[in-house]
Structure 1
Amino acid sequence: MTALLDATADGRHIAAEGLPLTAAQTGLWYAQALDPASPAQNTAEYLEIHGPVDPALFSDALHQVVAEADALRVRIVETPEGPRQLPLTTGPAPLPLHLADLRAEADPDGAARAWMHADLAEPFDLAAGPLFAHALFRVGDTRWLWYQRVHHVVMDGFGYSLLARRTAEVYTALASGEPVGPDPFGRLTDLVADDAAYRASDTYEADRQHWNEAFADRPEAVNLAGRTALPSRTHLRRTAYLGPEVTERLKELASSVRATWPDVLIAAQALYLSRATGAEEVVLGLPMMGRMGSVALRVPGMVMNVLPLRLTAGPRATFAELTRQVVLGIRAARRHQRYRYEDIRRDLGLLGADRALVGPLVNVMPFDYGLDFAGVPATAHNLSTGPVDELTVNVYDRADGRGLRLDYDANPALYEETDLGHHQERFLDLLSRLAHADPHVPQGEHGIATAAERSLVLEQFNATARALPPTTLVGPIEAQAARTPDATALVFRDTTWTYAELDARANRLARHLASLGVRPGTLAAVAVPRSADLVLTLLAVLKAGGAYLPLDPDYPADRLAYMLDDARPVCVVTDRDDRVPGDGQLPVVVLEGLDLDPYPGTVPPRPLTPDHP
């Protein structure tokens, strides 16, 4: 069934000519205008009410709250003077509240959420309005779900909390027969006037100068995807929980380093981003309320801003030092939080999808609504916080005994479900380890691989033990030469040798090296560039029973002389006589022009065992 809301109330009308948009609204309006059919600007949540609800009283309460919130009751049209928000007049058709009893469904909660997600996928018509929708679902004899969807251009997360608190307050008063308290909301006209006054003030200019100086070098904003993309119409979401025990440990950790637990969460995300990308400097995006003064604090509208937080998360610093950076960085950002994210990007010339100002957004909400409807408690469940450019990490403390809820919202143009899940699992694992670690040790000790991933790399990837026959390294090569003498053994540019040719050449050179003292337990230096002769020489040294010391022919002469003096090989093999320095003391075998014909091509005799070098 459907109940109807009449969204008019005396003394709360916006003038017929409407109002200009605030700076916070303007960017969202343009984004919607570029893609009118996109639902990306929709925000939504539902409250799970754990007890009986009178739907008629609930409708009356919501009716009054909608009437009080004039910032909600607007539509936005394009005019010759730019976009303006006009008063929403319902005329003969009041605004709908969808009511449904789903108790007969096999999965009432699932059916309700399916309806919500379908509704969330519907774009608003900004010019027509209304820019909000409500639904009340009965999913049990004493359980209800209150859903609300609002376009981001008229509402932010703090505005949701104002609406929810007031609805619970009015419902409780109506249910108890008590007088409803006075309208607590500020007016949209005051919010617009306050925004205009700020943008004409010296404070605005000081804030602009602060951000322009702080990011004058336009640092690279690394992200986990390794690339950028335009926001999509939808986003991926993965929800996980950090258990209560680890949550409490993180709060204790925060206290020990003179910070709050949101500071610790932000520092941990900076550390994760640094380790995952290899960048010591990272820039996170921090959604901030942007509500300075009594006007914005009382208006359920769109004020929220995103500000960049620039951090150095190198391996030598400690996590305590990184957390202190966060504390000081947020403190500085709050002093200039009204200057818009869009304006910072414009001032710095960071336009287009390929010039991001920030990497992931970290949206920490360290509060619960704490609502009750006539004594019946309610739990909030977020469904969408709006468009996602790259990745948004939403962290909620719902005080429900489950610890922290972490929603990873990602742009599907940049992430697959699997990749998103891996990042979330690694971050939760990092949080668990940080919670139990000494915050004063270097951050380089904190990897981001999970225990399973470390086991995969260190144990499974390295499980290379094989049963080997009791032979030497040259044994299988000589055996192959006996089995397939005419098969190709080596190819280098225009040179091709069969196994028989390679084996015979190596045997002759091995006999020559043996005559110079190369035998088991001795060392022969090899200064031959990459070539067929290099393979031949290494094999000949092994056939003679020796071990080889590779020398890079491009090393400086004094470096090569030092290595030869330090290693003291019995000889050095090179392709030409000007490769290595010499004092005449060390025999030098020059392959260029070397005549090996006097030596037989058969395997040289040697007392060689697998135990020799």
Structure 2
Amino acid sequence: MARKGTSTDPSGCTGTAAPAWTLEALRAEVAALLGAEPAEVDDDGDLFALGLQSLQLMQFTNRVNRAGGRAGFTELARDPRVGSWYRLLSSRTGAAGARSGPARPPAEAPSTAVRPSTAVPPSAAPGREPFPLTPVQQAYWIGRGDDRPLGGVGCHAYLEIDAAEVHPGRLEQAVRALTRRHPMLRARCDDDGTQRVLDASPWPGLTVHDHTAGTRADADTAVAGLRERLSHRRLRVGEGEVFDVQLSRLPAAADSRRVDRIHLGVDLLVADVHSIRLLLADLAELYDDPDALGELAYDFPSHLAARGTARADERERAKEYWSDRLVGLPGGPRLPLATDPEDVVRPRFVRRTHTLAPHTWERLRARAGEHGVTPSVLLATAFAEVLARFSGERHFLLNVPLFDREHDAHPDLDRIVADFTSLVLLEIDLGRGTGFAGRARAVQQRLHDDVGHAAYTGVDVLRDMARADADHPRTAPVVFACNIDAPLVPDAFADRFGELSWMVSQTPQVWLEHQIYRTRDGGLLLAWDAVEELFPDGLLDGLTAACAALLDHLVMADWTAVPDLPLPAGQLRRRHEVNATHRPESGRALHEEFFTHAGTRADAPALLWGAEGVLTHDELAERALRIAGALADRGIRDGAPVLVTAPKGPDQIAAVLGVLAAGGSYVPVGVDQPAERRARILAVSGARLVLDGTGTPAPAASPAEVLPLAEALRFRPWPRRCPWARTTRRTRSSPRDPPASRRGSRSATGPR
């Protein structure tokens, strides 16, 4: 229920009566966002086609609501035209007819929205109380533990900058001034899940590695070793160590010019991408004058407290949105792996990069605008197309960071170093939409719907998945981070020290992160940071090359067609080799091969799982034949369909073999499928029996008999010498698909 004096509307926004808007004021605001003149903005033109980006729309939505307007991100995104926005806002102010009446621009409009007070004590004040970690910070903090899969690593960014003759004393002074200005650079994370700001940074001072007296070859070897140590360093954040700067002094080059290397590492518990830009810009200014920048009038804990109050209702609405979608969400793309993530002891991330030329990026942006697609969505869809090609799946989750600064909340908010990151789990479904443009628009619609409900974060949703999935939780280990509003290295830093010469980042429990930055000349830097050990040789090289090739292709391609992504040459060659191999047909189906050889391999392992799980051929065959006996007793024969639903594991495999041994055909249904889809599959398949390994009670109105798998495993075994039925399996996509033959191939358990 709304508070007294407020109103609610279909957008879900709550607030006081908003001030009237004029069409001219709204047009001016939008023009400022686009960097255009108001006369250039057509009231009925698609703003995404004009270059509006999702992040800009987020900022605009926050500004509108802080000015007293009531509009949601999702509804603005659904009809991105100035005229439509004007009608929407006017309908909620009672001033729909005031097309040119006086109105304050949004920045000056009266507002009763919750605004953080600037009268809070500065963060450096003694006695500052602990404050909670954000959901993303919690995930980083927990994920860095050694007991977590792909843990044991901090969420860390490491940068190297080669600069002409850096003065160590001035650099140290600048870093100390930087830690005084930014409280989160002296933050400590405690075991109780809180953080606090220390009075002083524990940074020990500038470590200088002086190689000026040696040879260049010796210096290169030394700094390569230093990079190896620092790039994957897990900072002691429990002691307040969240940031470090070191300096390598290198020998003079042949032209007598000397270049030094700055090594900068920061734990992303305390800094997002915008914060890294701030660090670099402030460091350059403080290097010239350590007193140039004072303390800020606002801080991160005050912002979190104010935002938590303002967003409480929004978070509840967003939680309901994600709860409704939870069952139908997929997991991350199942890329081919060389090893199980749980077997990686210490993740090592390796970076691959590709630069997109300015003229190529300009043309791609224009093509995206022609189809009403934002530049970020163009890049996300291209990445998704490549992931689909390499994983064989068209439906999966991407983990997408949002950099959620409400720029109008306080004048100093854009100057604060902290981690404002939120996460959205973007559901990719490349089965929606026709051609690349149609798929991109479908991705864009889903992204805008999800961003409109980002108050309940991707971290919250992943936790809900873990609770719902129990034994096999869905994950989202592939990240897409697009930061194309500005170069990573700001102009002030580049002018003082130089460009970025090397970088890598790592995030706990992430397999692959695709990062995109704008270059200073207007192009793009595409970067992929991945746990190298996880993937087969050549896969990451092939994947990154495919991303670059697809973007080049889209410059001139027909976007109404689906892009044709060839497999890497090595993978294609391997497929040809495998498919060109001719073997004599045995005349038996695959399951018959298993039972034929089970007797001669009775004690040999057939299934392995977990750390110690093992089932021999004899044990698996007996389980399958018990299930077959139970099914035959219920009349299953002659290809009769049986729905099989069981968690992944040995019993699921035994169930499938049992259905086939009895002469039936199995229709697999995932345990995470929504009830409506399960009912539809049951109806379409015509199955009259469900073999259920979930342990949940059967629905009272189920038209099919439900046979618990545990009960079937207690039945007497089907005779080993039986006339095997010639049965085939129905495909996973739909029970109505024609059955696919399994003849002509040898069993995976047969002789090699």
TM exceeding 0.5: yes
- Secondary structure at the aligned position of 1:306 is classed as strand
Identify the residue that residue 271 of structure 2 maps to in structure 1.
Answer: 155
Q: Is the 8 A contact 1:39 1:120 kept in 2?
A: no
Identify the residue that residue 399 of structure 1 maps to in structure 2.
Answer: 520
Whether 1:12 and 2:124 are equivalent positions in the alignment is yes
Q: Is the 8 A contact 1:397 1:404 kept in 2?
A: yes
Residues 35-92 of structure 1, C-alpha deviations (whole Å, 9 max, x = no match): 59965114123252544433322222221111111112122223xxx3332343559x
Structure 2 unaligned runs (5+)?
1-120, 589-752
Q: Is the 8 A contact 2:151 2:346 kept in 1?
A: yes
Task: Tell me the CA shift for residue 202 of structure 1.
Answer: 0.3
Residues 183-230 of structure 1, C-alpha deviations (whole Å, 9 max, x = no match): 45741331342354256x101111212222343423343332369735
Identify the residue that residue 429 of structure 2 maps to in structure 1.
Answer: 312
Task: Tell me the CA shift for residue 266 of structure 1.
Answer: 0.6
CA distance in 2 between counterparts of 1:439 and 1:158 reads 33
Identify the residue that residue 137 of structure 2 maps to in structure 1.
Answer: 25
Corresponding residue to 1:96 among 185, 200, 205: 205
Identify the residue that residue 355 of structure 1 maps to in structure 2.
Answer: 473
Structure 1 unaligned runs (5+)?
1-8, 465-488, 494-613
CA distance in 1 between counterparts of 2:468 and 2:315 reads 20
Corresponding residue to 1:211 among 311, 319, 322: 322
Identify the residue that residue 420 of structure 1 maps to in structure 2.
Answer: 540
Within a 5 Å distance, the mapping from 1:258-297 to structure 2 comes to 258-293=372-407, 294=409, 297=414
Corresponding residue to 1:85 among 195, 199, 202: 195
Q: Which amino acid in the other structure matches residue 360 of structure 1?
A: V
Q: Paired residues, what number?
A: 448
CA distance in 1 between counterparts of 2:276 and 2:366 reads 30
Percent pairwise identity: 21
Q: Is the 8 A contact 1:235 1:411 kept in 2?
A: yes
Q: Which amino acid in the other structure matches residue 334 of structure 2?
A: N
Whether 1:326 and 2:440 are equivalent positions in the alignment is no
Q: Which amino acid in the other structure matches residue 97 of structure 1?
A: L
Identify the residue that residue 225 of structure 1 maps to in structure 2.
Answer: 336
Task: Tell me the CA shift for residue 163 of structure 1.
Answer: 1.4
TM-aligned CA distance change 1:184 to 1:217, over 3 Å: same
Task: Tell me the CA shift for residue 180 of structure 1.
Answer: 1.3
- Secondary structure at the aligned position of 2:183 is classed as coil
TM-aligned CA distance change 1:222 to 1:375, over 3 Å: closer
TM-aligned CA distance change 1:137 to 1:354, over 3 Å: farther
Q: Is the 8 A contact 1:46 1:145 kept in 2?
A: no
Q: Is the 8 A contact 2:232 2:348 kept in 1?
A: no
CA distance in 1 between counterparts of 2:471 and 2:422 reads 19
Identify the residue that residue 171 of structure 2 maps to in structure 1.
Answer: 58
Identify the residue that residue 44 of structure 1 maps to in structure 2.
Answer: 157
Within a 5 Å distance, the mapping from 1:156-171 to structure 2 comes to 156-171=272-287
- Secondary structure at the aligned position of 1:305 is classed as strand
- Secondary structure at the aligned position of 2:350 is classed as strand
Whether 1:239 and 2:352 are equivalent positions in the alignment is yes
Q: Which amino acid in the other structure matches residue 303 of structure 2?
A: L
Task: Tell me the CA shift for residue 268 of structure 1.
Answer: 0.6
Corresponding residue to 2:460 among 322, 327, 343: 343
TM-aligned CA distance change 1:415 to 1:352, over 3 Å: farther
Residues 469-505 of structure 1, C-alpha deviations (whole Å, 9 max, x = no match): xxxxxxxxxxxxxxxxxxxx99999xxxxxxxxxxxx
Q: Which amino acid in the other structure matches residue 326 of structure 2?
A: F
TM-aligned CA distance change 1:194 to 1:95, over 3 Å: farther
TM-aligned CA distance change 1:333 to 1:185, over 3 Å: farther
CA distance in 1 between counterparts of 2:348 and 2:158 reads 15
Task: Tell me the CA shift for residue 259 of structure 1.
Answer: 3.0
Task: Tell me the CA shift for residue 161 of structure 1.
Answer: 1.7
CA distance in 2 between counterparts of 1:281 and 1:35 reads 30
Within a 5 Å distance, the mapping from 1:394-473 to structure 2 comes to 394-399=515-520, 403-412=523-532, 414-441=534-561, 443=562, 445-450=563-568
- Secondary structure at the aligned position of 2:328 is classed as coil
CA distance in 1 between counterparts of 2:470 and 2:527 reads 27
CA distance in 2 between counterparts of 1:166 and 1:340 reads 31
Task: Tell me the CA shift for residue 281 of structure 1.
Answer: 2.3
Q: Is the 8 A contact 1:157 1:385 kept in 2?
A: no
CA distance in 2 between counterparts of 1:131 and 1:253 reads 42
Q: Which amino acid in the other structure matches residue 355 of structure 1?
A: P
Task: Tell me the CA shift for residue 378 of structure 1.
Answer: 2.6
CA distance in 2 between counterparts of 1:353 and 1:99 reads 50
CA distance in 1 between counterparts of 2:460 and 2:417 reads 23
Q: Which amino acid in the other structure matches residue 345 of structure 1?
A: L
- Secondary structure at the aligned position of 2:490 is classed as coil
Task: Tell me the CA shift for residue 153 of structure 1.
Answer: 2.4
Residues 378-434 of structure 1, C-alpha deviations (whole Å, 9 max, x = no match): 323432142242221122333358x53333222356313422222222222222222
Corresponding residue to 1:124 among 235, 249, 256: 235
Root mean square deviation of aligned Cα = 3.8
Q: Which amino acid in the other structure matches residue 430 of structure 1?
A: L
TM-aligned CA distance change 1:156 to 1:416, over 3 Å: farther
Length-normalised TM-score, structure 2 = 0.53
Q: Is the 8 A contact 2:144 2:155 kept in 1?
A: no
Task: Please identify runs of 4+ aligned residues in structure 1 that moved more than 6 A.
Answer: 451-458, 460-464, 489-493
- Secondary structure at the aligned position of 1:96 is classed as coil
Q: Which amino acid in the other structure matches residue 289 of structure 1?
A: F
Q: Which amino acid in the other structure matches residue 422 of structure 1?
A: G
Residues 97-142 of structure 1, C-alpha deviations (whole Å, 9 max, x = no match): 2223334442446643431330234433333232222112334545
- Secondary structure at the aligned position of 1:149 is classed as strand
Q: Is the 8 A contact 2:277 2:490 kept in 1?
A: no
CA distance in 2 between counterparts of 1:144 and 1:192 reads 39
CA distance in 1 between counterparts of 2:586 and 2:362 reads 64
Q: Is the 8 A contact 2:124 2:199 kept in 1?
A: no
Task: Tell me the CA shift for residue 240 of structure 1.
Answer: 2.7
TM-aligned CA distance change 1:298 to 1:346, over 3 Å: same
Residues 579-600 of structure 1, C-alpha deviations (whole Å, 9 max, x = no match): xxxxxxxxxxxxxxxxxxxxxx
CA distance in 1 between counterparts of 2:280 and 2:459 reads 29
TM-aligned CA distance change 1:252 to 1:491, over 3 Å: closer
Length-normalised TM-score, structure 1 = 0.64
Identify the residue that residue 114 of structure 1 maps to in structure 2.
Answer: 225
Q: Which amino acid in the other structure matches residue 98 of structure 1?
A: T
Identify the residue that residue 364 of structure 1 maps to in structure 2.
Answer: 482
- Secondary structure at the aligned position of 1:217 is classed as coil
Q: Is the 8 A contact 2:123 2:183 kept in 1?
A: no
Task: Tell me the CA shift for residue 333 of structure 1.
Answer: 3.0
Identify the residue that residue 387 of structure 1 maps to in structure 2.
Answer: 508
Task: Tell me the CA shift for residue 169 of structure 1.
Answer: 2.4
CA distance in 2 between counterparts of 1:111 and 1:251 reads 43
